[in-house]
Amino acid sequence: MPSAQPFEVSVKPRGKTLLVHLAGHFDLTAKKRFEAVLQEVFSGKAKEVIIDLRELVFIDSAGLRLLLEAWNVAKRKGIDFAVLPASNQVQEVLKVTGLDQVLPLVQGVPASEYKGTEASGGNGALVS
């Protein structure tokens, strides 16, 4: 069995939009880091938050629950929220659970807008 890829999260602001990039394994062990980043994200002046799942290799029920919680917080705060879906097993999990029909999905962010995690090194810090 391959070794688990550690969870990484980074945030890249683009005007009033924040791109939250997730990579690796999104499970219960990622909970504290993800919630800490989202607390910063939702306490700012963002008008839109996009969660990028394209580099996730694994998501479990805890990760799904965290996505739903993030979406609910965004709705309560009046922040537009969308998910950039993965094209792998993570997307299959979204389909099997029906969350691909519940969460607001977008097809992509232009490459000129966002290039992965290079800016923060995956340390969970907001990037200026």
The answer to whether residue 58 sits within a structural domain is yes
pLDDT tens for the 128 residues of the chain, in order:
445 789 999 999 988 899 999 999 999 999 999 999 999 999 988 899 999 999 999 999 999 999 999 999 999 999 999 999 887 899 999 999 999 999 999 986 654 454 443 333 333 333 32
The answer to whether residue 3 sits within a structural domain is no
The answer to whether residue 46 sits within a structural domain is yes
- The pLDDT value recorded for residue 44 is 85
The answer to whether residue 49 sits within a structural domain is yes
The answer to whether residue 124 sits within a structural domain is no
The answer to whether residue 67 sits within a structural domain is yes
Q: What is the pTM of this model?
A: 0.80
Q: For the chain, what is the domain count?
A: 1
The answer to whether residue 68 sits within a structural domain is yes
Report the 3 state secondary structure along 43-109.
HCCCCEEEEEEEEEEEECHHHHHHHHHHHHHHHHHCCEEEEECCCCHHHHHHHHHCHHHCCCECCCC
Q: Longest Cα pair distance anywhere in the chain, in angstroms? A: 43
Q: Which domain holds residue 31?
A: 8-111
* CATH code, 88: 3.30.750.24
The answer to whether residue 117 sits within a structural domain is no
Distance, CA of 1 to CA of 87 (rounded, Å): 22
- The pLDDT value recorded for residue 128 is 26
